[in-house]
Amino acid sequence: MLVSAKEMLTKAKAGKYAVGQFNINNLEWTKAILQTAEELKSPVILGVSEGAGKYMCGYTTVVGMVNGMLNELGITVPVALHLDHGSYDGAMACINAGFSSVMFDGSHYPIEENIAKTKELIAICDEKGISLEAEVGAIGGEEDGVVGNGEVADPNECKMIADLGVTMLAAGIGNIHGKYPENWAGLSFETLDAIQQLTGEMPLVLHGGTGIPADMIQKAISLGVSKINVNTECQIAFAEATRKYIEAGKDLSGKGFDPRKLLADGTAAIKATVKEKMELFGSVGKA
Which positions are catalytic? 84
CA-based nearest residue to 121, from 137, 106, 105, 132: 132
How many chain residues bind ligand 13P (CB under 6 A)?
15
- CA 190, 196, 199: angle at the middle one, nearest 5? 140
- What minimum distance in Å lies between the beta carbon of 177 and ligand 13P? 4
Residue whose CB is less far from ligand 13P, 43 or 178? 178
User: In terms of C-beta distances under 8 Å and separation of at least 24 residues, what long-range contacts does 59-65 make, across chains too?
Assistant: 59/83, 59/93, 59/94, 59/97, 59/98, 59/99, 60/97, 60/98, 62/24, 62/97, 63/97, 63/98, 63/99, 65/27, 65/30
Position 207 contacts ligand 13P (CB under 6 A)? yes
Residue whose CB is less far from ligand 13P, 37 or 245? 37
- What minimum distance in Å lies between the beta carbon of 147 and ligand 13P? 12
Task: Report the C-alpha gap between 108 and 105 in whole angstroms.
Answer: 8
- The per-residue DSSP string of 89-129 comes to HHHHHHHHHT-SEEEE--TTS-HHHHHHHHHHHHHHHHHHT
Q: Applying CB under 6 A, which of residues 233, 238, 267, 278 lies at the interface with ligand 13P? A: 233
Residue whose CB is less far from ligand 13P, 47 or 282? 47
Q: Applying CB under 6 A, which of residues 10, 60, 149, 232 lies at the interface with ligand 13P? A: 232
Position 209 contacts ligand 13P (CB under 6 A)? yes
Judge contact between 187 and 212, C-beta under 8 A. Answer: yes
Position 230 contacts ligand 13P (CB under 6 A)? yes
**Piece of 69-77, 127-135, 204-212, 241-249 that binds ligand 13P (CB under 6 A):** 204-212
Residue whose CB is less far from ligand 13P, 141 or 282? 141
Binding to ligand 13P, residues 33-92 (CB under 6 A)? 47, 84-85
Task: Report the C-alpha gap between 243 and 84 in whole angstroms.
Answer: 28
Judge contact between 177 and 208, C-beta under 8 A. Answer: yes
Q: What character string, x for contact with ligand 13P (CB under 6 A) and - otherwise, covers 134-173?
A: ----------------------------------------
Position 227 contacts ligand 13P (CB under 6 A)? no
Binding site for ligand 13P (CB under 6 A): 23, 47, 84-85, 177-178, 207-210, 229-233
